[in-house]
Amino acid sequence: MKPLNIEICDVTLRDGEQTPGVSFSCKEKVEIATLLDEIGIEMIEAGFPAVSENEKHCVKTIANLGLDARISGFCRAKKPDIQDAIDCGVDMVSIFIPTSELHVRLKFKKPREQVLEESLEMIDYARDHGTQVRFAAEDASRTDIPFLKKVYQRAAERGAVLLSYADTVGCLIPSEMHAVMAELVSSVDRPFCAHCHNDMGCAVANTLTAAEAGAFQLHTTVNGIGERAGNTSLEELLIILWTKKGIDRYDLSKLTELSHLVEKYSGIFLPRNKPVTGELAFSHESGIHIAAILDDPSAYEYFSPDLVGGTRHFILGKHTGKKALEHVVASLGCELTEKQICAVLDLVKDHSEQKCNITPEVLRKLIRKVKESPA
């Protein structure tokens, strides 16, 4: 394993809240931020203070919690935005500007060079007020490399401590991400950030690849929520960093709790087969699989549910085997003869083929039916 020098910046409270229809209360934001901090996340983007007075209040509240995580505030390259963030007491302001020809044309209707020069002055403004700056290029993945290098070099010269590369529309695949990040990292003497969107399902892979190419700060959201198809999933990235890169400083046992908390507060429900924290992530029905798991769980689980605060489930259905059924029946406190087990197994298979779930209540009814039937 090649060691990685990385940190996590979770942006659930800002980019995650930009999921259509999602709005967190201040109390909910505090709960999420507190759990992120307990997990060991190094930076939390608390919000976009200029959005509203309530948002500014929430960012200030989180900044004053005394968390170990550094707190950042999101800003346009405008003095009022930056001042709002500074007033909140954040550790860092994240100033973003569009850099692609398309975005600059649509948003500013003036030359990119002029937009850049005006934006660089905002780095001076923030630093003059004692706040560190992360300078972010929006739509960086659709920006020509020569201009992008100029943006980052000029921002570094003005004192930005982090340079952020945003794949704003999720248009990259890992090989493309590796090539561009490696080139950028070698061209500017500042740590880079990878901010990936999931429009083509590559956000986690692209973020990991960016880290392998030299990116330092990796941006995530809990459950991968965010605009359109979302962002890089925190829980998926952390488990990959643990299993593949030996990064074990994060408390993964809180991931399921955090995932379900954000699911509840966001109203964005997890797919049942969501990796790491989904309902089916550690659920098994196949008789062959369950028989092996009862002897050694690693046969069909690459990592234990205990690691992420999850729970293993055995699901009864048409693929269930005798050994699995015996285990589940015993867990219900029932005792059946060999003949009765076989009879119940036949009923389980028949029932499930009618697209009916075998809940504990259903199983008890099937057991009673077998016990009450004539020998």
CA-CA distances (angstroms) from residue 18 to 14, 154, 196, 268?
Answer: 7, 29, 14, 12
Return the structure tokens found at 97: 């500007």
Give the relative orientation of helices 338-352 and 322-331 as an angle to the nearest 10 degrees. Answer: 100
Q: Determine the distance from the C-alpha atom of residue 149 to the mean position of all C-alpha atoms in its chain, rounded to a whole number.
A: 28
Q: What is the pTM of this model?
A: 0.92
Task: Give me the pLDDT at residue 338, please.
Answer: 86
Residues 202, 208: Cα–Cα separation, whole Å = 10
Task: Give long-range contacts, CB 8 A cutoff, 24+ apart: 310-313.
Answer: 310/256, 310/276, 310/277, 310/281, 310/282, 311/282, 312/282, 312/283, 312/284, 313/282, 313/283, 313/284
Domain 7-266 has CATH 3.20.20.70: yes
Q: What is the pLDDT along the chain (375 residues), one digit of tens a residue?
A: 568 999 999 999 999 999 999 999 999 999 999 999 999 999 999 999 999 999 999 999 999 999 999 999 999 999 999 999 999 999 999 999 999 999 988 888 889 999 999 999 999 999 999 999 999 999 999 999 999 999 999 999 999 999 999 999 999 999 999 999 999 999 999 999 999 999 999 999 999 999 999 999 999 999 999 999 999 999 999 999 999 999 999 999 999 999 999 999 999 999 999 999 999 999 988 888 888 998 999 999 999 999 999 999 888 888 878 888 888 888 888 888 888 888 888 888 888 887 767 777 888 888 888 777 775
Task: Give me the pLDDT at residue 31, please.
Answer: 98
The answer to whether 315 touches 285, Cβ cutoff 8 Å, is: yes
Task: Give me the pLDDT at residue 285, please.
Answer: 84
End-to-end CA distance of the chain: 61
Question: What are residue 201's phi and psi, to 5 degrees?
Answer: 75, 20
Task: Give me the pLDDT at residue 245, please.
Answer: 96
Task: Give me the pLDDT at residue 373, please.
Answer: 78
Per 3-state DSSP, the chain is made up of helix, strand and coil in percentages (nearest 5) of 50, 15, 35
Task: Give me the pLDDT at residue 328, please.
Answer: 82
CB atoms within 10 A of CB 184: 23
The residues, any chain, with a CB within 8 Å of residue 102's CB and separated by 6 or more, are 139, 142
Match 């925190």 to its residue by tokens: 234
CA atoms within 13 A on the CB side of 3: 1
The residues, any chain, with a CB within 8 Å of residue 188's CB and separated by 6 or more, are 149, 152, 153, 156, 163
The answer to whether 202 touches 172, Cβ cutoff 8 Å, is: yes
The 3-state secondary structure of 72-85, one letter per residue: EEEEECCHHHHHHH
Task: Give me the pLDDT at residue 73, please.
Answer: 98
CA-CA distances (angstroms) from residue 312 to 174, 276, 281, 283, 290?
Answer: 32, 12, 8, 6, 11
111: phi > 0 → left, psi -120 to 50 → alpha, else beta; which?
beta
Task: Give me the pLDDT at residue 308, please.
Answer: 98
CB atoms within 10 A of CB 84: 23
Give ranges for CATH 3.20.20.70 in the chain.
Answer: 7-266
Return the structure tokens found at 317: 């259905």
Going by the DSSP 8-state scheme, the letter that residue 109 receives in this structure is: -
The answer to whether 152 touches 190, Cβ cutoff 8 Å, is: yes
Q: What is the DSSP string of 303-346?
A: S-GGGGT---EE--STT--HHHHHHHHHHTT----HHHHHHHHH
355: phi > 0 → left, psi -120 to 50 → alpha, else beta; which?
left
